[in-house]
Amino acid sequence: MSVFSHGRRRLMGGAAALACALALAACGDTKPEFIGSDITGSHLGQAMSMPDTTGKLRTLDDYKGKVKVVFFGFTQCPDVCPTSLAELAQTMDLLGTDADKVQVILISVDPARDTPEVLSAYVHAFNPNFIGLTGTPEQLAATAKSFKAFYAKVEGAAPGQYTMNHAASFYILDQDGEARVLVSGNAPAKDIAHDIRQLL
């Protein structure tokens, strides 16, 4: 009798432990599954500090509570930047009402030509809620370094002509401002939307 009772207690204890484990797995901290590259723990972008097109100095804290999609580019970019911003605009459409929880930020790598007025008109042509940041070369250098983002001026054939080479990836940061995903600049909107949803 005592052996049966002891075995029964062990069986019941094991069943309870299994049920607890399953419950924790169902409602616990499940790791997001990103399509892009998981960069959790990299702390990229923490030193972002640049003026927006109204002249207000912006840091990640200004967008706390929103998922942030940060992209480096410039308004005279012939193909990569407009294509990427068009994909981000489509991403917002796919997100529906969740788009209100997302802030897309274009950081200009060409502050000499991307004045606040020019940059504002450019980003708003893709989506009225997109914002642009443009500042001094020193502010850009510090912000780009924080994201480990590459950019370089390339002189053109004629004097005074130039273009900008730059990294073309999307940095997706969570609602607390931590960098979580690096997405290719040519990723389709549905993939970008998927990774954003993992952080909402």
| pLDDT over threshold 80, residue 93 | yes
Residue 25, pLDDT score:
45
pLDDT tens track for 107-163: 999 999 999 999 999 999 999 999 999 999 999 999 999 999 999 999 988 888 899
Has 124 been labeled as part of a binding site?
Answer: no
> What band does 11 get if pLDDT is binned at 50, 70 and 90?
very low
Spatial CA neighbour of 55 closest among 113, 129, 131: 131
Residue 21, pLDDT score:
44
Residue 17, pLDDT score:
47
Domain ranges of the chain: 1-30, 37-197
Model confidence pTM above 0.85: no
CATH of 37-197, one of 3.30.420.40, 3.40.30.10, 3.40.1160.10, 3.40.50.720: 3.40.30.10
Residue 152, pLDDT score:
94
| pLDDT over threshold 80, residue 172 | yes
Has 166 been labeled as part of a binding site?
Answer: yes
Residue 19, pLDDT score:
47
The DSSP element (H or E) to which 50 belongs, if any, is strand 50-51
Has 77 been labeled as part of a binding site?
Answer: yes
Count, residues in the chain: 200
The span from the CA of 80 to the CA of 82, in Å, is 6
The span from the CA of 101 to the CA of 95, in Å, is 9
